A and B are shown apart, each in its own frame.
Chain A
Amino acid sequence: MKPLVEIQNLVKYFDLGGDQRVHAVDDVSLSINPREIVGLVGESGSGKSTLGKTLLGLHDKTDGNVSFAGQVLPQRYRASDFRAMAPKMQMIFQDPYSSLNPRMTVGEIVGEGLRLQPELSASDVQDRVAHWLQLVGLSPDHRSRYPHEFSGGQRQRIGIARALILQPEFVVCDEPISALDVSVQAQVVNLLGELTQELGLTLLFIAHDLSMVRYISDRMAVMYLGGLVEVGTSAEVFFDPKHPYTQTLIASNPEADPEHERGRQSTTIQGEIPSPVNVPAGCRFANRCPQAMPHCSTTTPALKPVPTISENLQSQRLVACHLFD
């Protein structure tokens, strides 16, 4: 199968002035197949959101390529590129409060993308907006209301309708549920799951809630300090993590099961994610890694396939760690 989105050696640095720069995304390669949900996890500051935004052209690429359905996307987007790509790639944002313009009605917000299709009459636009509001579980009568009249979960539904009304093939969901309460999270996750099925969407689902990512995604990619450390099917990565960082991350994830929690050994690692300005040489995790070897802090490990139990080619397992050399 040909990947829908192919990321090759993508690099995004932010210049801080002088010769300092933030290494937000550093040499990331990842393929996303059609109709696949890929979860992207990592701590704050690991570059997940920057990767998502750079994919869609919201940031200029410092280096590397992103291709969509075989077509290489420009390094820096111009207005015409955004117009061309918006119907194909969309984004759902984390904060349902700041991502909706408070001065626009819900109908204007959801219907704004349809301005790219000037052949639609005003009443067609109205009909489509009503249809999409219904699809995401709101009432068509909500068109004339403003965002402040809605709760967080409802606003996130508005954000979903806005992203999907152009019927894109690929959607980046940047922490779409982390601002929501537990009971509402499940509503939004189930809605996203249903729509993805019905519309045949491909998703990059960025989150830090590991259980939720495992639940929703087919494959999972783990990011640390700008680089990918492990990629594999969600079940494999979650239940059989290979990279020491993934192991730590999953061991730190508190489980809603008191018996399991009482039986857990303390697996916390010391220290915190280093600054992406002064990136350590070699493996970026070496200074916190319990299994670090001398050459870990000098040579950077590449993301390489490791043998998996299943011989399924779809579930190719990639790990960036010298333990698997």
Chain B
Amino acid sequence: MSEPILQVANLHVDFQTYGGVVQAVRGVSFDVCAGQTLAIVGESGCGKSVTVQSLMGLIPMPPGRIHQGSAHLRGHDILASKIIDGQDIRGSQISMIFQDPMTSLNPTMNIGSQIAETLEVHKGYSKSDAFARAIELLDMSKIPEAAKRAKQYPFEFSGGMLQRAMIAMAIACEPAILVADEPTTALDVTIQAQILDLLGDLQQETGMAIILITHDLGVVARMADEVMVMYAGEVVERGGVDDIFYRSGHPYTQGLRLAMPTNNQDTEANQTLVAIDGSPPDLFNPPRGCAYHPRCPYAMQVCAEQAPPTRTLGADHQAQCWLHHEMAGALPDGLVSASKVGQ
């Protein structure tokens, strides 16, 4: 595996509100390598978007506050300063596409000019050069008749086409990392497949890393190399995509998988969905111990009292769960133990 280009360690983000302090991200660490896709998975409110927004300086402060942790992009600390070597990291080093392309673009500017603006600001292109490059980028994003489309406004584009335009804008400055925050949640499956293919092709061509935020395990299975599962502001499990799907070590990861129907002709006959009871905890007051214990079918006494340690289950595969402790006894079905790894 190549050297990580982005290293995040022990990130804590909270928000001061009238109701109290929301502890949105509580100690998240991860690495991102060039050419790889890291998927961050979790339910709404688990802190996945806040994690990446804080790296890009998109958290309004106040009320937001990064009160602990570090993030290094190629060795430069990006939490202290969003400017590296005189360049803003946003746009030129890390860029982002959002869930709702309709509200992320300026409705009063044509698409080509919005893309060109990025190039003028970050790369010092002249207006006409930038516009010409914008047309090339739209073409790279497989927008038909790019020259004509560049002069159109967002309302003239469909949702799928707008997401392509967003991608064209995001790759304009050849970023090292592309953050895709639920890029296909608002799209239909056939359009989703087109956008995912496009992201994969662009990654092949440019070697950029992708951080993909999603709650759809199907999209994760399709795109990810590495997966990080978040719950209540914490990472509960991380590992290679096969580790997470075939050798999951955390009851929450297992619960997410069992809550979705699988389409396997051989085993589907009497499959029933296993719902995870209850709902995610309130982050004003995260539960003591493991945040998942109120919903966990295997919760033990210790889970409610002490935060679980991180256990290594294999090369690059870790889970935070007391079930992997020596004193926890036999593991429930379907969870992989540290000792079985390598067999």
Interface residues of A (CB under 8 A from B): 43-44, 151, 153-154, 181-187, 189-190, 208, 210-212, 214-215, 235, 238-239, 248-249, 251-261, 264, 266-270, 272-273
Is chain A's binding surface mostly helix, strand, loop or mixed?
A: helix
Question: Which of A208, A260, A268 contacts B197 (CB under 8 A)?
Answer: A268
Query: Which B residue sits closest to A137, measured CB to CB?
Result: B277
B245–A181 CB distance below 8 A: no
- CB contacts under 8 Å to A, within B247-288, are 255-265, 271-277, 279-280
B189–A183 contact, CB under 8 A? Answer: no
Which of the residues B190, B194, B242 comes within 8 Å of A258, measured between beta carbons?
B242
Q: How large is the interface on B (under 10, 10 to 19, 20 to 34, 35 or more residues)?
A: 35 or more
Alpha-carbon distance A190/B258, docked complex (angstroms)? 13
Q: Are B260 and A260 interface neighbours, CB within 8 A?
A: no
CB distance from B249 to the nearest CB of A (A): 16
Contact A181 B43 (CB under 8 A): yes
**Contacting residues, chain A, for B217 (C-beta < 8 A):** 182, 256
- Chain B 191-204: CB-based contact to A (< 8 A → 1; otherwise 0): 11110110000000
Bound form: Cα–Cα A317–B256 in Å:
34
Q: Which residues of A have CB within 8 Å of B259?
A: 182-183, 185-186
Quick one: closest A residue to B265, CB to CB? Answer: A239
Residue contact B279 to A184, C-beta cutoff 8 Å: yes
Q: Are A254 and B219 in contact (CB under 8 A)?
A: yes
Quick one: which of B224, B241, B258, B261 has the most chain A CB within 10 A? B261
User: What residues of A have a CB within 8 angstroms of the CB of B216 in the complex?
Assistant: 182, 254
CB<8 Å pairs between A and B, sample of 21: A154-B279, A181-B280, A186-B275, A187-B276, A189-B273, A211-B263, A235-B265, A248-B190, A249-B190, A251-B193, A252-B190, A252-B192, A253-B218, A253-B263, A254-B221, A255-B218, A256-B221, A256-B262, A258-B246, A261-B222, A264-B222
A42–chain B nearest beta-carbon distance, Å: 9
CA distance A47 to B259 in the complex (A): 29
Residue B104, interface by CB 8 Å: no
* Known contacts A43-B188, A183-B43, A254-B221, then 13 further A-B pairs from the complex at CB < 8 Å, ordered by chain A residue: A182-B216, A183-B256, A187-B276, A211-B260, A211-B262, A212-B261, A214-B263, A235-B265, A252-B189, A252-B192, A254-B189, A256-B218, A257-B264
A211: shortest Cβ distance to chain B, in Å?
5
Say whether, besides A182-B256, A256-B221, A260-B221, A210 and B189 are in contact (CB < 8 Å): yes
Scan B150-188; emit 1 where CB is below 8 A from any A CB, else 0.
000000001011000000000000000000000000001
Check if A256 sits within 8 Å of B215, measured CB to CB.
no
What's the Cα separation between A153 and B44 when bound, in Å?
A: 12
Q: Are A44 and B245 in contact (CB under 8 A)?
A: no
Which listed residue (A153, A190, A215, A253) contacts B189, Cβ 8 A?
A: A253
User: Interface on B for A, CB 8 Å cutoff?
Assistant: 43-44, 158, 160-161, 188-194, 196-197, 215-222, 224, 241-242, 245-246, 255-265, 271-277, 279-280
Q: Which 5 A-B pairs have the closest CB atoms?
A: A254-B218, A215-B261, A186-B275, A183-B276, A252-B193
User: B263–A186 contact, CB under 8 A?
Assistant: no
B218: chain A residues at CB < 8 Å are 211, 253-256, 261
Given contacts A252-B190, A258-B241, contact A214 B44 (CB under 8 A): no
A185–B280 CA distance with the chains assembled, in angstroms: 13
- Tell me the complex Cα distance, A184–B241, Å: 23
Known contacts A182-B215, A211-B262; A255 and B275 CB within 8 A of each other:
no
Once the chains are docked, how many angstroms separate the CA of A121 from the CA of B245?
55
Residues of the A chain whose Cβ atoms lie less than 8 Å from the Cβ of B255: 183
Shortest beta-carbon distance from B308 to chain A in Å: 20
- State the CA gap A254–B255 with chains docked (Å): 19
Output the nearest chain A residue to B274 by Cβ-Cβ distance.
Answer: A186
Chain B residue, CB-CB nearest to A189: B273
Residues of chain A contacted by B264 (CB below 8 angstroms): 257
| B110 nearest CB across to chain A (Å) | 20
CA distance A183 to B43 in the complex (A): 8
Which residue of the partner chain, among A238, A239, A256, contacts B260 with CB atoms under 8 Å?
A: A256
Complex contacts, B160 vs chain A, CB 8 Å: 272
Bound CA span A238–B255, Å: 25
Chain B residues closer than 8 Å to A252, beta-carbon distance: 189-190, 192-193
Partner of B190, one of A151, A181, A260, A269: A269
**Known contacts A182-B43, A208-B188, A252-B189; A153/B262 CB under 8 A:** no
* Cα of A239 to Cα of B245 in the assembled complex, Å: 22
CA distance A251 to B192 in the complex (A): 12
Q: In the docked arrangement, what's the CA distance between A194 and B191, Å?
A: 34
Chain A minimum-CB-distance residue to B193: A252
B43 proximity list for chain A (CB < 8 A):
181-183
Which residues of chain A come closer than 8 Å to B263, judged between CB atoms? 211, 214, 238-239, 253, 255
- Which of A190, A239, A251, A269 is the one whose CB lies under 8 Å from B275? A190
Name the one of B44, B161, B196 contacting A181, with C-beta atoms under 8 angstroms: B44
Residue on B nearest A216 in the bound complex, by CB: B261
User: Known contacts A182-B256, A256-B220, A256-B245; is A153 also within 8 Å of B279 by CB?
Assistant: yes
Closest chain B residue to A44 by CB distance? B188
The CA-CA distance from A66 to B224 in the complex, in Å, is 47
Task: Indicate which residue in B189, B194, B256 contacts A249 across the interface (CB closer than 8 Å).
Answer: B189
In the complex, residue of chain A having the shortest beta-carbon distance to the beta carbon of B184? A254
Of B190, B241, B257, B275, the most chain A CB neighbours within 10 A belong to B190
User: Shortest Cβ distance from A105 into chain B, in angstroms?
Assistant: 21
> CB distance A261 to B221 under 8 Å?
yes
Which residues on the B side are within 8 Å of A257 (C-beta)? 221, 245, 262, 264
